[in-house]
A and B are shown apart, each in its own frame.
Chain A
Amino acid sequence: EVQLVESGGDLVQPGGSLRLSCAVSGFTFSNYWMSWVRQAPGKGPEWVANMNRDGSERHYVDSVKGRFTISRDNAKNSLYLQMNSLRVEDTAVYYCVRDGNGGYLHRWGQGTLVTVSS
């Protein structure tokens, strides 16, 4: 069974940092592109970043460029999102997602809540 389990969400002050983790099982992690997608309260989903199979290619939405870093450890079947200089508008549930054919956002974790507030 494919499983993606996010962790690391927390309440953090503006300007602070947080590292999200996603532990996967049930599939060969190193064969897939992986993404982070977030959803602010009452809003639609927003794709944040993705990374190719060996970590040599990364893409980000403009609003997080220079502040967030996506990474992966294929030996540990884990995906990460390092978030620095957090802003109130980064408050959201963050989902770890396995990409599918053509790059669509195929399989989603249950999400972890990040709240940025003073």
Chain B
Amino acid sequence: DIQMTQSPFTLSASVGDRVTITCRASQSVGGSLAWFQQKPGKAPQALIYLVSNLESAVPSRFSGSGSGTEFTLTISSLQPDDFATYYCQQSHTHPKTFGQGTKVEIK
């Protein structure tokens, strides 16, 4: 199975900060990498698919980049609605696997 490792586990930041979350895969996942946002009590919501494609209605302050085994999610200017947990997920190979999550907290 492909292991997905995110860093950091938690991130304390202020409104307006630029935030970067890293996701590393144990082997290449090609371009089959997605990012999700989850708020307490809610289902995860897709933000970005195929590394850098923004889901419809997702604000442009979110962006994704990377290839192969290393990927990043960047929030250019953190907004109050962005405090949540973020997960990366690979769809290159079954079983599809998720990172362990990064919780973005208010500083």
Q: Interface of A with B (CB < 8 Å)?
A: 35, 44-47, 50, 59-62, 95, 99-111
Question: Is A61 within 8 A of B43, CB to CB?
Answer: no
Closest 9 pairs (CB-CB, A-B): A103-B91, A104-B34, A47-B96, A108-B43, A59-B94, A61-B95, A104-B49, A44-B101, A104-B91
Closest to B30 in A: A102
Identify which of B87, B91, B95, B101 contacts A102 (C-beta below 8 A).
B91
Tell me if B89 counts as interface (CB < 8 A to partner A). yes
Q: Number of A-B pairs whose CB atoms are under 8 Å?
A: 64
* Bound-state Cα–Cα, A60 to B101, Å: 22
List residues of B whose CB falls within 8 A of some A CB: 1, 31-32, 34, 36, 38, 43-46, 49-50, 53, 87, 89, 91, 94-101
Q: Which residues of chain B have C-beta atoms less than 8 A from A59's C-beta?
A: 94-95
B95:A101 contact, CB within 8 angstroms? no
Q: Supply 20 further A-B pairs (C-beta < 8 A) apart from A45-B89, A105-B34, A106-B49.
A: A44-B98, A45-B44, A46-B98, A47-B89, A47-B95, A47-B98, A60-B95, A100-B49, A101-B50, A101-B53, A102-B91, A103-B96, A105-B36, A105-B44, A105-B46, A105-B96, A106-B46, A107-B46, A108-B43, A110-B43
Contacts of A106 in B (CB 8 A): 46, 49
Nearest residue (CB) in B for A59 is: B94
Please measure, in the bound complex, the distance between the C-alpha atom of A99 and the C-alpha atom of B46, giving whole angstroms: 11
Q: Is the CB of B45 within 8 A of A108?
A: yes
| Cβ-defined contact, A62 with B95, below 8 A | yes
